[in-house]
């Protein structure tokens, strides 16, 4: 971890320190009174309890908590994959909770990069073809799509694996392809759901170092769900969820 990243982690031990960290930062993500409920067997289950959350632009933040605490639900709301039952979600000045389904899909395609635990690469496509996939939802011409995909693979250190299929790659390399796919559209936000969960320790550390580089050198805002304390240490701010509520 870089010295600057270590200082940010040390400066984020308490909510008082977190407030100081945010004081002069431009807010990218703003949640107010966000509630999420699901119906199960005719009964309403409240998963998130009236959350307020501000995330500065360019921050690397982690969500931790026990299974069922609402971490992935919160991440999905921030990424526009789900809608709140109550409350407002503002991302970069846009109220995504008020968007139509079509508007929300377009916003996700242009603004969010997704990284999942299981990579979600299509086995019949090469690395570069997998990276190009998000651009198929945009008006970017094919020649430009290929150029951007090549650049993204170079950023993650896989420019020598562009024509390899997922079965020809290690788990760590597959996750690097997934990260290249997440950044190919130059998103304002990267959401990562247990990005190291299927990796050995060395591969996990390599992926975390790459995320740290994307945050530090490219200024990407990253929201990461993790159960791994070693992964959470990479984040400047760590939020703890318990029974759908943020805890100090």
Please give the CATH topology (third level) of the domain spanning 3-247.
Rossmann fold (3.40.50)
The pLDDT assigned to 248 comes to 60
The pLDDT assigned to 6 comes to 36
- pLDDT of 8 > 80? The answer is no
Percent of the chain with pLDDT over 70: 90
The pLDDT assigned to 153 comes to 97
Q: Where are the domains of the chain?
A: 3-247
Mean pLDDT of 146-165: 96
Mean pLDDT of 153-165: 96
pLDDT in tens, 12-63: 333 335 545 556 579 999 999 999 999 888 899 999 999 999 999 999 999 9
The pLDDT assigned to 15 comes to 39
Give me 141's structure tokens: 């011409």
The pLDDT assigned to 1 comes to 30
pLDDT in tens, 45-58: 999 999 999 999 99
Mean pLDDT of 230-243: 93
- pLDDT of 109 > 50? The answer is yes
- pLDDT of 195 > 70? The answer is yes
The pLDDT assigned to 25 comes to 75
pLDDT in tens, 87-97: 999 999 999 99
């Amino acid at each position: 971890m870089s010295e600057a990243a270590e200082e940010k982690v040390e400066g984020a031990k308490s909510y008082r320190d977190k407030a100081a960290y945010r004081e002069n930062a431009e807010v990218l993500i703003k949640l107010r009174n966000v509630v999420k409920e699901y119906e199960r067997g005719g009964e309403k289950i409240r998963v998130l309890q009236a959350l307020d959350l501000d995330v500065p632009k360019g921050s690397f933040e982690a969500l931790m908590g026990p299974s069922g605490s609402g971490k992935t639900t919160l991440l999905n709301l921030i990424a526009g994959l789900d809608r709140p039952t109550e409350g407002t979600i503002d991302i970069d000045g846009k109220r995504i909770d008020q968007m139509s389904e079509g508007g929300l899909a377009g916003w996700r395609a242009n603004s969010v990069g997704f990284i999942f635990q299981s990579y979600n690469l299509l086995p019949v496509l090469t690395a570069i073809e997998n990276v190009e996939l998000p651009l198929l939802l945009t008006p970017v011409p094919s020649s430009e799509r290929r150029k951007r995909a090549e650049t993204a693979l170079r950023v993650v250190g896989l420019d020598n694996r562009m024509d390899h299929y997922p079965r020809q790659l290690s788990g760590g390399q597959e996750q690097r392809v997934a990260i290249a796919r997440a950044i190919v559209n130059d998103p304002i936000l990267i959401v990562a759901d247990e990005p190291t969960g299927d990796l050995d320790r060395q591969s996990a550390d390599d992926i975390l170092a790459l995320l740290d580089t994307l945050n530090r050198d490219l200024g990407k805002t990253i929201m990461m769900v993790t159960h791994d304390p070693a992964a959470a240490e990479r984040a400047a701010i760590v939020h703890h969820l318990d029974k759908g509520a943020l805890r100090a």
